[in-house]
A and B are shown apart, each in its own frame.
Chain A
Amino acid sequence: MEGSLAKESGIREILPENTIKTLVPQVEVSREIRPVPPRYRNEIAKYIIRRDSNCTLCGKCAQVCPHGVHVMKPGYKLFAAPHLNVCVGPSCQKTDHYCIDICPNKALKMVENPMLKAMGDYRWTPDMIIATWRMAETGEPPSPEYGYDYETGASGGGFDRLRFKFPEKPPVELRDDEIDTSIVLNRRNDGRPQVKIDVPWYGGGMSFGSVSNVVQLSKARAATAFNTFTCTGEGGYMERMKPYDDHVITQIATGLFGVCEETIQRVRIVEFKYAQGAKPGLGGHLLADKVTPAVAKMRETVLGISLFSPFPFHSVYSIEDHQKHMDWIKHINRRALIATKVSTPNDVDMVAVGSYSAGTHIVHLDGGYGGTGAAPDIAKKNIAMPIEYAIVKVHRFLEQEGIRDKVSLIVSGGLRTLHDIAKAIALGADGVVVGTSELVALGCIRCSRCESGRGCPRGIATTDAELAQDVELEWGTQRIINLYSAWRKELVALLQRFGMRSVSELRGRSDLLMHLDYTNDVETSK
Chain B
Amino acid sequence: MPKKYHIETKKIPPRLPKIGKFGVVDWREDCARCHNCVKKACVYDRYRQEMQYIKDMDEFNNMYFECMGCFSCVQKCTKGLLALTANPEYERMGNGYYTPDIILTTWNQAETAGIPVSGAGYRGKFTGTGFDSMWTDMSEIVRPTRDGIHGREYISTSVDIGRKSKLLSFEDGKLITPLQPLVELQIPIIIDMFPEKYQFSNLMPMLLAAAVKTSTMMIVDWEQRSLIETHIEKYLSHIIFYLGKDTLLPAPDILKKSHLIEVADDDRTEQRIQKIKAVNPELVVAVRVELDSRGEQRAIELAHNPIVEVIHIVSDINGNQIGVEKPKFIKDMTRYIHTALVKEGIRDEVTIIASGGIALAEHMAKEIICGADAITINMPLLIGLECRFCERCRDGFACPAKIESIAPRYGVGRMTNLIAVWHDQLIEVMGAMGMREARRLRGETGRALFFEDIEEETFGRLFGKRIGN
**A interface with B by C-beta (< 8 Å):** 40-44, 81, 114-115, 117-119, 121-124, 155-158, 160-161, 254, 274-275, 278-283, 285, 287, 308-312, 316-319, 321-322, 342-343, 345-348, 351, 354, 368-386, 388-389, 392-393, 413-414, 436, 444-454, 456-458, 461, 467, 510, 513-515, 517-522, 524
Contact = CB atoms under 8 A, between A and B. Distances in A.
Interface in B28-84: 43-44, 68-72, 74-80, 83-84
A109 B279 CA distance: 81
Nearest to B461: A522
A310 B148 contact: yes
Given A122-B124, A458-B70, A517-B468, A310 B462 contact: no
Interface in B343-376: 360-362, 365-366
A318 B142 contact: yes
Nearest to B22: A118
A342 B139 CA distance: 10
B376 to A, nearest CB: 19
Contact of A379 (B80, B432, B462): B432
B369 to A, nearest CB: 11
A119 B75 CA distance: 13
A428 to B, nearest CB: 10
A208 B69 CA distance: 25
Interface in B69-125: 69-72, 74-80, 83-86, 105, 115-125
Nearest to B360: A378
Nearest to A510: B462
Contacts, number: 289
Interface in B209-238: none
Nearest to B116: A377
B135 interface: yes
A378 B125 contact: no
A317 B433 contact: no
Contacts of A321: 141
A391 to B, nearest CB: 9
7 smallest CB-CB distances across A and B, nearest first, come from: A450-B119, A157-B126, A281-B432, A311-B148, A40-B75, A518-B463, A121-B123
B454 interface: yes
A124 B121 CA distance: 10
A157 B458 CA distance: 13
A154 B46 CA distance: 31
Given A254-B148, A454-B43, A522-B463, A375 B117 contact: yes
Given A115-B83, A319-B142, A457-B43, 10 more contacts: A42-B74, A279-B432, A280-B138, A283-B148, A322-B141, A346-B137, A414-B122, A458-B70, A515-B463, A518-B460
Given A308-B148, A311-B147, A447-B69, A378 B119 contact: no
Given A115-B83, A282-B148, A383 B126 contact: no
B160 to A, nearest CB: 25
B262 to A, nearest CB: 30
B413 interface: no
Interface residues of B, number: 76
Contact of A385 (B141, B142, B454, B464): B454
A117 B86 contact: yes
B248 interface: no
A392 B459 CA distance: 8
A43 B75 CA distance: 6
B127 interface: yes
Interface stretch (B251-259, B269-277, B327-335, B423-431): B423-431
A318 B139 CA distance: 12
Contacts of B116: 376-378
Contact of B123 (A44, A123, A282, A370): A123
Nearest to A523: B464
A351 B141 CA distance: 8
B139 A345 contact: yes
Contacts of B71: 44, 115, 119, 445, 447
A506 to B, nearest CB: 15
Nearest to A311: B148
A417 B79 CA distance: 33
A393 B459 CA distance: 10
B434 interface: yes
B140 interface: yes
B174 interface: no
Contacts of A348: 140
Nearest to A371: B121
Given A42-B75, A383-B135, A447 B149 contact: no
Nearest to A114: B85
A393 B458 contact: yes
A520 B464 contact: yes
